[in-house]
Amino acid sequence: MSTHLTDHRFDQYNLPDSLLQGLNQAGFQQCTPIQADSLPISLGGQDVAGEAQTGTGKTIAFLVAVYNKLLTEPAPEHRKPDQPRALILAPTRELAIQIHRDAELIGHQTGLKLALIYGGTDYEQQQKSIANGVDILIGTPGRLIDFFKQHIYNLKMVQSLVLDEADRMFDLGFINDIRYLIRRCPEPTERLSMLFSATLSFRVQELAYEHMNVPKHIKIQSEQRTADKITERVYYPANNEKIPLLIGLIRKEQPTRSIIFVNTKRVAENINAWLTGNDMPPAILSGDVPQKKRQSLLKKFQDGEHTILVATDVA
């Protein structure tokens, strides 16, 4: 792991003690390349548009910048408990949960309050987490807009805005929701904004220029350390050949764990029927699976209780 770290250290950045203690306790001393490149910019108050893959440390990069801003600058005058100081947008509930987990990990000594908002779970509990006071609001677009239109919170006091996996926002059709929320925040010149994306495509760059204050672009090359260990094969079967091919490959390779991605729940259910009928029952993960069951399925898959997982691409 050390080969993927730089010589830059978090204690070089004059961070607040409470944040630095959280980083140290979580085992974060040295920076990854995206952290080393982005933090001098974001900590200096300039917007960042970063091109970086998942697993590069981008979550800690933007969380450190958000925490630093909220801890070193006063809260806006006359701010109410239901007015977050930072908004972090993620395309999926899994990513939102991971961001929230990391934020708790490094920020538990800061005294700042977090709220996690996403669909598929209890409205009342999430409403309460905002009503009790929130500094950093983390969530997915759909439920956030739902709550916003019910006047459960407002964005007039946002000092920092983060858009994670912006390219996925486009892919999943959330971009109009994102624009709706961003336009309810203060002007770009009045907040620190950070955008991260696997690719800074034209449409992502257009979004950055439209809603950010002259962002500095950063690109981190993928080290391909995972791909080097993967053999990729492409098959071109006819529709009626796909299921026999899939079953044949599973029998031949006998994987300890495998994931089958499909584009609709209906296809997932069809594959489930075929695999179950051939004594290889899978677990199914689709967008409408309740959150508790979703997390339970993923844990069982990680633990090896389920060897085959069929998942829709928006799950």
Q: Which two tokens stand for residue 108?
A: 């538990």
Identify the domain boundary among 163, 197, 219: 219
pLDDT (tens place) for every residue of the chain, 315 residues total: 333 789 999 999 999 999 999 999 999 999 999 999 999 999 999 999 999 887 789 999 999 999 999 999 999 999 999 999 999 999 988 899 899 999 999 999 999 999 999 988 888 999 999 999 999 999 999 999 999 999 999 999 999 999 999 999 998 899 999 999 999 999 999 999 999 998 889 999 999 999 999 999 999 876 554 556 678 889 999 989 999 999 999 999 999 999 999 877 788 899 999 999 999 999 998 766 776 788 888 889 988 899 999 997 655
110 and 23 together in one domain: yes
Quote the CA–CA distance of 54 and 226 in Å, as a whole number.
12
- CATH code where residue 193 lies: 3.40.50.300
171 and 247 together in one domain: no
DSSP structure string for 90-115? -SSHHHHHHHHHHHHHHHTTS---EE
> Total domain count for the chain?
2
Quote the CA–CA distance of 101 and 60 in Å, as a whole number.
11
213 and 260 together in one domain: no
Range of the domain at 175: 2-219
Model pTM score: 0.77
193 and 246 together in one domain: no
180 and 47 together in one domain: yes
Quote the CA–CA distance of 265 and 233 in Å, as a whole number.
25
56 and 115 together in one domain: yes
29 and 82 together in one domain: yes
184 and 95 together in one domain: yes
Per DSSP bridges, beta strands 160-163 and 216-219 are unpaired
Running DSSP on this structure, what letter comes out for residue 223?
-
160 and 300 together in one domain: no
161 and 297 together in one domain: no
Contacts of 47 (CB under 8 A, 6+ apart): 188, 192, 193, 194, 195, 212, 213, 214, 215, 216
User: Is the residue at 227 inside a domain?
Assistant: no
8 and 122 together in one domain: yes
213-238 per-residue burial string, b: 16 or more CB within 10 A, e: under 16 = bebbebebeeeeeeeeeeeeeeeeee
| SS3 state at 306 | coil
User: Is the residue at 225 inside a domain?
Assistant: no
